[in-house]
A and B are shown apart, each in its own frame.
Chain A
Amino acid sequence: MSVDWITLAGAAGGFLSAALLPFLSLRPNRILEGVPRGLLESLGPGAGIVLGALSAAGILAVLHGRRPGLDTPGALLSGAGLAALLPLAGAAAGRLVGGSPVARVSAGPGFWLAAAGLGVALFSFTRRLPSRSPARIASLLAVPAAAAAAALAGLLDDLSLVRELAARGSTFAAELARHLALAGGSASLGAAVGVPLGLAMYRRPRWRGAISVAVSAAQVVPTLSLLGLLIVPMAALGAAVPVLGRLGVRGVGWAPAFTVLSLYALLPIAGNTFAALGAVDPGILDAARGMGMSRRQVFLRVQAPLALPVILAGIRTAFTANMGNAILAALVGGGGLGTLVFLGLAQAAPDLILLGALSTAALALAADRVLALAIRGAVPRGIRTEDS
């Protein structure tokens, strides 16, 4: 185990891709075919930063086993390289478009694979550092900080993704809000129903089978067909109950999408709740009862707090999955970031597709991290684990 092969592979792959594959691509307008531009051509002397960071990561990965203490420079160098990538590309885009308002510069495979290689290296190096070490925090924060600073400074304005966003700013904001409402609302409903369902499975062994089948059934049917299947009953429901109809419950629109996403959230939440309650050490429950706690006290003071981390993990899974799955809502006119993706597909505009897809992925990642932090705060210290 003297060489860190994963980091080495990432760095070498990133280096070769950056050097050999098109780094940026210049299109006269947003739909026309792009003209590839290499790394040197795009970045000029800036290419040295990218290649330097990648080769440094590779060398440190080779030396990894022989010299301890290389993780700190490794993390800092790969973090700096990754942080520099986006501002460099933004500046290059400004030079390449040369003042044309319709020309588009987008990232090519060289850019993405260099970013991926540096990302792998950054992840491997930081993972070996203690969780609160300054180098770890600095190298992890450098990337979003540099991106934010470059964006604020207007350095990224000429990248095609940013141009696309600027052209669709208000739509994007509206769809983003809708996406959040759809995914977050449906996951919340899933939690509000799923936790009691899990509790019922635990408390009533007779209902266990039925609930488990019902909750899993939603998971087994493919999302798309479930959306299709719901058109008729949802339309009927909206027609039968005028209040719901006025709220927008129809065969298409937000209602079927919200329903499907809520159903998808049920399994991880109900399943985790059931498993978490059952996994509490029977000796602990015996002690609680034997000390004179009532059933209610045993549940509220002992069993529920001990099951909490796993229940919350299920809710986190559901939220994160729904952030991604909500992209499908656009298929039935439910709105959300999927609207941008499907519009981009219809217009053959890759920037629009990318804008929808990347922001959805970023949203899912952000939801995961935020919930992980929130859960960490909610779980009592005595049963907290380091890795959440």
Chain B
Amino acid sequence: MIRFRNVVKSYGPVRAVDGADLGIDPGELCVLIGPSGCGKSTLLRTVNRMVEPDSGEVLVDGRTVRAHPPEELRRRIGYVIQSVGLFPHMSVGDNVAVVPRLLGMEKAAISRRVGEMLELVGLAPSWAARWPRELSGGEAQRVGVARALAADPPILLMDEPFGSVDPLTRIRLQREFLAIQRHLHKTVLFVTHDVEEAIRLADRIAVMRTGRILRHAGPEEFVASDAESFVGEFLGLEYGVEILSRRSVREALDYAKSIREAPSPRAARTGDSPDPAAPAVRADASLKEALGLMASRRVECLSVLDESGRGIGTLRMEDVLGTWKACP
């Protein structure tokens, strides 16, 4: 869907992007991550021609982006930036309607679309009449996402979109965005320097340094192989713990129960009836949370409860660690 071929962009003597190669599949949420100044924002901005590369090629759907006038190209690519950039002199509804209007959509269709988009990002359609200055940071960025999606672009470029909101809001926005993405299957290029955010959102992570893509792989493929390299150093040793946030307690328990079928010394003890003395964890909690609970209570097993609070098994530390490798 998006393909960078040997893209180079220099600013004076500095090579911001230095021969980047990367391919992003349709429907993939690719997180571009790297330290400040690694060229990730510059690379992202070559897709909608906000930055023109010195050499190399950026292809969208197999065609070079230079085949389209920049304005027309940009109207078909959603764009969300850290500063949000809502237009303060326009109501929330008019902000969301900007691109549909630029595309000349019909009035009735636009106002319907504005309502749908606001609902999609969890705001009531009546919010269309509000003004940007009345919104909190998190609300403003929701409107920013609604605005980017309003013309239903197949591609979404997001440049540290949740970078300027508080940590709790950020996690909520990430979760909501993931839910929207599961529903819409946009091709997303998402720039961040926050490893946790990359782990939570990415289908694949592209790690960048000094203008080059060092590695592009699924989040779970990073763990073992990169311990000594820059990639491993940048992701940090805690990556092994952070990655557990992608798996739920239920998955680990199911896995543990599945290997109980096989003859194994561990099978006898795992996934059995709940241990009443163990601290309780909900099945939909992440393994990272489960591990955190174990660490803070200094225990090695937790009793797992389902949504109704019924005990459905026991989770052991080794299940948490084992699931990781064994689950596809």
Contacts and interface: CB of A to CB of B under 8 A. Distances in A.
Interface of A: 281, 283-294, 297, 302, 305-306, 380-383
Interface in B142-189: 147-148, 157
B245 to A, nearest CB: 30
Contact of A290 (B50, B72, B86): B50
Contact of B84 (A287, A305, A306, A382): A287
A16 to B, nearest CB: 48
Contacts of B81: 283, 286-287, 290
Nearest to A302: B87
B91 to A, nearest CB: 7
B75 to A, nearest CB: 3
Contact of B133 (A285, A297, A382): A382
Q: For the complex of A and B, list the 9 residue pairs with the smallest distance between their C-beta atoms, beginning with the closest.
A: A287-B85, A283-B83, A292-B75, A292-B74, A290-B79, A380-B89, A382-B131, A283-B85, A284-B85
From A284, A286, A290, A297, residue with most partner B Cβ within 10 Å? A290
Contacts of B309: none
A290 B86 CA distance: 12
B87 A286 contact: no
From B70, B72, B76, B87, residue with most partner A Cβ within 10 Å? B87
A305 B94 CA distance: 14
B71 interface: yes
B237 interface: no
Interface string B77-104: 0010111111111110000001100100
B132 interface: yes
Interface residues of B, number: 30
B323 interface: no
A382 B85 contact: no
B312 to A, nearest CB: 48
Contacts of A302: 87, 89
B48 interface: yes
Contacts of A284: 83, 85-88
From B81, B83, B85, B157, residue with most partner A Cβ within 10 Å? B85
Given A283-B81, A381-B131, A382-B132, A288 B74 contact: no
B131 A288 contact: no
A281 B82 CA distance: 13
Contacts of A287: 79, 81, 83-87
From A283, A284, A294, A305, residue with most partner B Cβ within 10 Å? A284
Contacts of B102: 291-293, 297
A297 B72 CA distance: 13
B89 A291 contact: no
B85 A292 contact: no
A49 B34 CA distance: 77
A281 B81 CA distance: 13
Contacts of A283: 81-85
A279 B163 CA distance: 23
A305 B90 CA distance: 10
Interface in B58-80: 70-76, 79
Nearest to A304: B89
A105 B70 CA distance: 76
A381 B134 CA distance: 12
A383 B86 CA distance: 12
A294 B79 CA distance: 15
Nearest to A294: B71
Nearest to B103: A292
Nearest to A308: B89
Contacts of A306: 87-89
Interface string B112-140: 00000000000000000001110000000
A289 B74 contact: yes
Contacts of A383: 88-89, 133
Contacts of A380: 89-90
A290 B98 CA distance: 12
Contacts of B82: 283
A286 B86 CA distance: 10
B89 A288 contact: no
B133 to A, nearest CB: 6
Given A281-B83, A382-B133, A291 B74 contact: yes
B75 A382 contact: no
A380 B94 CA distance: 13
Nearest to B76: A292
A381 B94 CA distance: 13
A290 B89 contact: no
Contact of A291 (B79, B88, B91): B79
A305 B88 CA distance: 10
A382 B89 contact: yes
Nearest to B83: A283
Given A292-B75, A293-B102, A382 B83 contact: no
Contacts of A381: 131
A285 B90 CA distance: 14
Contacts of B84: 283, 287
A284 B84 CA distance: 8
6 contacts: A286-B83, A287-B85, A287-B87, A292-B71, A306-B89, A382-B89
B74 A382 contact: no
A43 B263 CA distance: 114
A285 B79 CA distance: 13
Contacts of B71: 292-294
B162 to A, nearest CB: 15
B45 to A, nearest CB: 8
A297 B87 CA distance: 13
A286 B50 contact: yes
Contacts of B132: 382
A259 B308 CA distance: 84
A52 B71 CA distance: 70
A292 B72 contact: yes
A159 to B, nearest CB: 49
A285 to B, nearest CB: 8
A290 B83 CA distance: 13
Nearest to B78: A291
B88 A382 contact: yes
A149 B325 CA distance: 92
From B50, B71, B157, residue with most partner A Cβ within 10 Å? B71
A382 B90 contact: yes
A308 to B, nearest CB: 8
